[in-house]
């Protein structure tokens, strides 16, 4: 009888879970090792947007100027505190070098296929029984000022021309046709109809149940310390609970991936981009639309079972504090757009480390030095939106099948 091949997936976030899903589907025996609680890191209380609209990378013309301005602004949603972190300085330099039109377009062309493929795969997952409060209302980018609204027309034009991803515009109070709870007198909004949203913790719970029901194993509180290596092959992993043998490994450790790059044969320039969210009960008058308040960089996610505000991007190393001022910013910013910026009862205040790469593209592919190790990390601000296609790609790579997307934009060798 043929023993099924065993793959160990390192990291129980949305990326590791998606990889496990597609590997199980193609006949592997799968074990997910998670150093903490499954689904409890960046994939837990993020904003839940599945957004093919987010094609453009963070590194774009003007981004450095914007970042410098916000470094000196009080209570800005964007913060950089590099201190003596050499890795972060190098990351910032790589990022700054990419803030030009050509590199922006190159990254966007890598990002879009993953977003589009994942959006389609989500439909299949939902039809297959994954429960996550899935809603397909689109995503509304709201502008406080008329200038902001008009300025965005340029970006929309670019998205339309180059990426076939345009939005419907609603100038001034017309935006209240989309979301009547928005305050009067705003600049307007752009509606991306193909976007969707879900409740991330529900997704993780349901996906876990699906994986376990198909024979996958999920072990929590097991930290992978290193790989067991023989030549250019990994034989398994050393963990906090002893050794585990495997035929292949998938490294999906999110923002912590660089801690395991000793044997990978490539640089993994991932820095944590810290963000926050506030989850409350639904406001008495709850918006129906998921929205991004562009000028304040705050996202609103109305869910069937709750309501969430999320924002901020801090490059401050692996900082795990939650300062009340940062959470207060979320309410304060949303109050410029909504009479009732949040619900009455706070259910959770949260931070997450986004796994940020300098070119906003994830790293997906075989390790240059260990042939049976596939890296799937660095999904930046869009890990939830890119997870299913990443999982499918990883399974295709390990199975030696033709990948459903061109993989060169995600190559681990590019840094």
Residues binding ligand FAD (CB under 6 A): 10-16, 33-36, 41-43, 46-49, 223-224, 252-256, 260, 275-277, 310, 352, 354-355, 377, 379, 381-385
Minimum distance, C-beta of residue 368 to ligand FAD, in the bound complex (Å)? 20
Give CA angle at 280 (179, 335), nearest 5°. 50
- The nearer residue to ligand FAD, 183 or 245, going by C-beta atoms, is 245
Residue 273: phi and psi, rounded to 5, are: -110, 100
- The nearer residue to ligand FAD, 6 or 146, going by C-beta atoms, is 6
Q: Find, among 28, 198, 131, 119, the residue nearest to 387 by Cα.
A: 119
Minimum distance, C-beta of residue 150 to ligand FAD, in the bound complex (Å)? 26
Minimum distance, C-beta of residue 1 to ligand FAD, in the bound complex (Å)? 31
Minimum distance, C-beta of residue 221 to ligand FAD, in the bound complex (Å)? 9
Minimum distance, C-beta of residue 184 to ligand FAD, in the bound complex (Å)? 27
Rg (CA), the chain: 21
* Percent helix, strand and coil across the chain, each to the nearest 5: 35, 25, 40
Bridge pairing between strands 242-245 and 233-239: antiparallel
- The nearer residue to ligand FAD, 46 or 76, going by C-beta atoms, is 46
Minimum distance, C-beta of residue 272 to ligand FAD, in the bound complex (Å)? 9
Q: Report whether 182 contacts 142 (CB < 8 A).
A: yes
- The nearer residue to ligand FAD, 161 or 323, going by C-beta atoms, is 323
CA distances from 235 to 66, 244, 333, 370, 371 (A): 47, 9, 51, 10, 11
3 state DSSP class of 19: helix
- The nearer residue to ligand FAD, 12 or 189, going by C-beta atoms, is 12
- The nearer residue to ligand FAD, 121 or 180, going by C-beta atoms, is 121
Alpha helix (H) ranges present in 73-213? 86-97, 101-127, 146-163, 175-178, 200-213
- The nearer residue to ligand FAD, 185 or 324, going by C-beta atoms, is 324
Bridge pairing between strands 139-143 and 291-293: parallel
Minimum distance, C-beta of residue 2 to ligand FAD, in the bound complex (Å)? 29
- The nearer residue to ligand FAD, 21 or 35, going by C-beta atoms, is 35
Residue 272 bridge partners (DSSP): 355
Q: Report whether 329 contacts 307 (CB < 8 A).
A: no
Other C-beta atoms closer than 10 Å to the C-beta of 401 total 11
Question: Distance between CA atoms of 375 and 378, rounded to whole angstroms?
Answer: 9
Minimum distance, C-beta of residue 249 to ligand FAD, in the bound complex (Å)? 11
Question: Distance between CA atoms of 351 and 263, rounded to whole angstroms?
Answer: 30
């Amino acid at each position: 009888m043929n023993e099924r091949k065993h793959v160990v997936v390192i990291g129980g976030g949305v990326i590791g879970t998606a990889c496990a899903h597609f590997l199980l589907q193609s006949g592997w025996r799968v074990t997910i090792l998670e150093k903490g609680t499954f689904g409890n890191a960046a994939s837990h209380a993020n904003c839940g947007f599945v957004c093919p609209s987010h094609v453009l990378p963070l590194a774009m013309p003007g981004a450095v100027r914007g970042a410098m301005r916000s470094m000196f602004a009080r209570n800005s949603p964007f913060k950089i505190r590099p201190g003596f972190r050499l890795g972060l300085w190098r990351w910032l330099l790589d990022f700054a070098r990419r803030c030009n039109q050509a590199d922006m377009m190159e990254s966007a062309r890598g990002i879009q296929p993953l977003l589009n493929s994942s959006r389609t795969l989500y439909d299949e997952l939902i039809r297959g029984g994954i429960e996550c409060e899935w809603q397909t209302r689109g995503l509304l980018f709201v502008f406080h000022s008329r200038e902001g609204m008009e300025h965005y027309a340029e970006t929309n034009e670019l998205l339309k021309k180059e990426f076939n991803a345009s939005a419907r515009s609603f100038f001034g109070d017309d935006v209240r046709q989309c979301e009547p709870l928005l305050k009067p007198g705003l600049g307007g909004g752009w509606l991306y109809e193909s976007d969707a949203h879900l409740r991330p913790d529900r997704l993780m719970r349901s996906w876990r149940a699906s994986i376990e029901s198909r024979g996958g194993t999920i072990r929590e509180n097991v930290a992978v310390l290193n790989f067991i290596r023989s030549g250019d092959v990994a034989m398994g992993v050393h963990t906090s609970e002893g050794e585990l043998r495997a035929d292949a490994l998938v490294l999906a450790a999110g923002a912590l991936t660089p801690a395991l790059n000793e044997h990978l044969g490539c640089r993994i320039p991932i820095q944590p981009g810290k963000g926050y969210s506030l989850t409350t009960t639904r406001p008495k008058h709850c918006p129906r639309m998921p929205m991004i308040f562009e000028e304040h960089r705050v996202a609103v996610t109305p869910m069937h079972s709750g309501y969430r505000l999320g924002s901020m991007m801090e490059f401050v190393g692996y900082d795990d504090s939650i300062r009340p001022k940062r959470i207060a910013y979320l309410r304060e910013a949303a109050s410029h757009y909504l009479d009732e910026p949040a619900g009455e009862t706070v259910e959770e205040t949260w931070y997450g480390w986004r796994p940020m790469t300098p070119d906003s593209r994830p790293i997906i592919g075989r390790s240059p030095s260990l042939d049976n190790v596939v890296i799937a990390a660095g999904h930046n601000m869009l890990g939830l939106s890119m997870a299913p296609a990443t999982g499918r790609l990883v399974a295709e790579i390990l199975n030696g099948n033709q990948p459903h997307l061109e993989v060169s934009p995600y190559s681990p060798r590019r840094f």
